A and B are shown apart, each in its own frame.
Chain A
Amino acid sequence: MPMLEVSDVHTYYGNIHALNGISISVEKGEIVTLIGGNGAGKTTTLRSIVGLLKPRQGHIVLDGEDLTQYKTHEIVNKGVAMVPEGRGIFARLTVTENLDMGAYSRKDQKGIQQDLDRVYTIFPRLKERRTQVGGTLSGGEQQMLAIGRALMTHPRLMLLDEPSMGLAPLLVESIFETIRSINKEGTTVLLVEQNALMALSIADRGYVVQTGRIVLQDKAAALRKNEMVRKAYLGEE
């Protein structure tokens, strides 16, 4: 049984039919990527999974439990973390306070401390900036904070929405390296990217989204060789 099973989900913004029957599944321990162009419905899919949007139709099942009946904070407490598009850093909270927010519903002081140490080990830069408010961090530091903050919720499943957006190539590589190592340590990852090349290089499997539908799905390696993917998303002729 997959860890996450999204089946035939339809989500609307008012009258706009943004997701037109999306189905994806993520196995425990995998990195799965969702690629697609602007406005394809990638963000909408993630927001539907965490309950920020309510699908009008379809099911989203996490380890056997239907998530569509729950509110966002309940879904997060079931072990789903999301690093939102644009990072969503609390600009007026310090780095430490941002990280503390990640641990908001946790009571296990020891576990929280361990995760905090882990975040500071992964991103030593954040430790240096501890007392600085989020709004004054650079784009890259904000992305580190967003990922660190998601780790503080101690998730089973981590959803990342375009973590490479606006970052220098070198930093993109290091962020993807981090995602890979987070996954190795046991967190399942669903990664949304426009940077298909990078995403497919670390993912096990991938889905291609177009206008609210899955048009293609395969092993990451196979997708990289796929004619249509190469043309549309890898910028090759």
Chain B
Amino acid sequence: MQQKTALHVHKPVGTYRYVQIILGVFFSAYLLWRLYVVLIAHPAYGPDTWLRFTIDGVVLGSVYALIAIGYTLVYGILFMINFAHGDVMMLGAFGGYFVFEALGAYKVSSSLSFLNAYPVISVILAFLAGMAVSSTAGYFLEKIAYRPLRGAPRLVPLISAVGASIFLENAAQLLFSTQRWDYTNPAVLNRGAGWNIHVGQGTVVVTYTGVLTIVVSVLIMIGLYLLVKRTRLGRAMRAVAENKSTAALMGVDVDGIISRTFIISGVLAGAAGVMWGIHLGLVYYYVGFIPGIKAFTAAVLGGIGSIPGAMLGGLFLGVVESLGPAVLGISFQLKDVIAFSILVLVLVFRPTGILGEVLSEEKV
């Protein structure tokens, strides 16, 4: 019933297989040699710097993971890439931004704003706002851009997704202009502030914003895991992902489950957007573009359709792009290139990703 696409397995045969192996050996050898050079022969950085890179990577990776789960959930159910997902994240980032602005302007005493008087509540409110905005956006995105195309050839909703992405970015540009807005965190969450850890000769700052990002994203991922594995909704989501018509025969409102999947993806993207703002500090109308593509890469890397795959893929990508430039001895501005090279390599050599599975034919 379902057509094979680029994301499906294809078995390499003959010379192609040898080319793969030879390239793989060369690439691994090169990596090992680079590691030897930067770690032992001519250590470019001390252990403190390596640790800092790694922590940065884990923080970014946990944001990618949250966004990647959204791609994977939607792909698992509709077999389409929701290219507007990064923009859904952007809207959530703005949701949190305006909460911080409003609370920053709201004075509880002559010198103290609500934001600084109650930082915990403020952060919670920002996350709730971001998640509310993104999940609403996700819900309507599906209703307006994808639902009418249910049953159309698979390329059609993909085109619609690209259109929706362009629409959302332009709408955001109209609303928020092209300016880059500074995310004003509560003072205790000042970017750069954190715990100092002594490593070798140097110190590493473990930032509060970074720790917040990791903790919140781990909590959300645990919540998602419990939702998918333990609840009635989660069971229905898994059933719909496996076989829509049989799920309907169990009395499941398939369209309702699809809507909820977009809402959940939106919740995750909204949280990611607020983290992005809090940790990295700037939001603008296309702020979702790069993390969106990175998270898509992460989802493909982990095996699109697999939730643990998206989590691992996100983390892996975050760490690799953070360590990559140092290991390869290239400019740090090229870290995006690393991510996209990985995307291309995975799509060419292992389209099912690390934890990828062969999708069953009767799924659609």
Residues in chain A within 8 A of chain B (CB atoms): 50-52, 71-73, 76-77, 81-82, 84, 86, 88, 90-93, 97, 100-102, 104-105, 149-150, 153
A97 to B238, CA, bound (A): 10
A84 cross-chain contacts in B, Cβ below 8 A: 245-246, 249
20 A-B pairs within 8 Å (CB atoms) are namely A50-B249, A52-B248, A71-B248, A71-B253, A72-B254, A73-B252, A76-B248, A76-B250, A84-B245, A84-B246, A84-B249, A88-B245, A90-B238, A91-B242, A92-B238, A102-B250, A104-B251, A105-B252, A149-B250, A150-B249
B243 cross-chain contacts in A, Cβ below 8 A: 88, 90
Closest 8 CB pairs of A and B: A88-B246, A72-B248, A105-B251, A76-B251, A101-B250, A73-B253, A104-B251, A90-B242
Q: Are A100 and B251 in contact (CB under 8 A)?
A: no
A86 to B363, CA, bound (A): 13
A52 to B236, CA, bound (A): 18
Q: Are B242 and A52 in contact (CB under 8 A)?
A: no
Known: A84-B245, A88-B246, A90-B243. A153 touches B238 (CB 8 A): no
Q: Are A104 and B252 in contact (CB under 8 A)?
A: yes
Instruction: Decide if B267 is an interface residue (CB 8 Å cutoff).
Output: no
| Residue in A closest to B256 when the chains form the complex, CB atoms | A73
Q: How far is the CB of A192 from chain B (nearest CB, A)?
A: 15
A153 to B249, CA, bound (A): 9
Q: Are A77 and B248 in contact (CB under 8 A)?
A: no
A52 to B151, CA, bound (A): 13
Known: A73-B254, A90-B243. A81 touches B249 (CB 8 A): yes
B360 cross-chain contacts in A, Cβ below 8 A: 91
Instruction: Decide if B342 is an interface residue (CB 8 Å cutoff).
Output: no
| Residue in B closest to A134 when the chains form the complex, CB atoms | B242
B249 cross-chain contacts in A, Cβ below 8 A: 50, 52, 72, 76, 81-82, 84, 88, 150
A104 to B360, CA, bound (A): 24
| Residue in B closest to A102 when the chains form the complex, CB atoms | B250
B side interface size, CB within 8 A: 19
Instruction: Decide if B232 is an interface residue (CB 8 Å cutoff).
Output: yes
A182 to B275, CA, bound (A): 56
Q: Are A100 and B235 in contact (CB under 8 A)?
A: yes
| Residue in A closest to B236 when the chains form the complex, CB atoms | A104
A150 to B250, CA, bound (A): 8
| Residue in A closest to B235 when the chains form the complex, CB atoms | A97
A72-B245, A76-B250, A153-B251 provided; 15 other pairs, C-beta below 8 A? Answer: A50-B249, A72-B249, A82-B249, A84-B246, A88-B245, A88-B246, A91-B242, A91-B360, A92-B242, A93-B239, A93-B242, A100-B235, A101-B252, A102-B250, A104-B236
Residues in chain B within 8 A of chain A (CB atoms): 232, 235-236, 238-239, 242-243, 245-254, 360, 362
Known: A90-B238, A93-B235. A101 touches B245 (CB 8 A): no
Q: How far is the CB of B253 from chain A (nearest CB, A)?
A: 5
A90 cross-chain contacts in B, Cβ below 8 A: 238-239, 242-243, 246
Most A CB contacts (10 A, CB to CB) among B242, B251, B253 go to B251
A4 to B254, CA, bound (A): 25
A102 cross-chain contacts in B, Cβ below 8 A: 250
Q: Are B362 and A86 in contact (CB under 8 A)?
A: yes
A92 to B246, CA, bound (A): 14
Q: How far is the CB of A43 from chain B (nearest CB, A)?
A: 11
A72 to B360, CA, bound (A): 23
B248 cross-chain contacts in A, Cβ below 8 A: 51-52, 71-73, 76
Most A CB contacts (10 A, CB to CB) among B243, B249, B254 go to B249
Known: A71-B253, A76-B251, A93-B239. A104 touches B232 (CB 8 A): yes
A97 to B232, CA, bound (A): 10
Q: How far is the CB of A165 from chain B (nearest CB, A)?
A: 15
A77 to B238, CA, bound (A): 20
A97 cross-chain contacts in B, Cβ below 8 A: 235
Q: How far is the CB of A94 from chain B (nearest CB, A)?
A: 10
B232 cross-chain contacts in A, Cβ below 8 A: 104
A100 to B236, CA, bound (A): 10
A92 to B247, CA, bound (A): 13
Q: How far is the CB of A81 from chain B (nearest CB, A)?
A: 7
Q: How far is the CB of A166 from chain B (nearest CB, A)?
A: 15
B362 cross-chain contacts in A, Cβ below 8 A: 86, 88
A105 to B232, CA, bound (A): 10
A90 to B362, CA, bound (A): 11
Q: Are A101 and B235 in contact (CB under 8 A)?
A: yes
A122 to B239, CA, bound (A): 24
Q: How far is the CB of B319 from chain A (nearest CB, A)?
A: 29
| Residue in A closest to B247 when the chains form the complex, CB atoms | A101
B252 cross-chain contacts in A, Cβ below 8 A: 73, 101, 104-105
| Residue in B closest to A87 when the chains form the complex, CB atoms | B246
| Residue in A closest to B257 when the chains form the complex, CB atoms | A73
Q: How far is the CB of B237 from chain A (nearest CB, A)?
A: 11
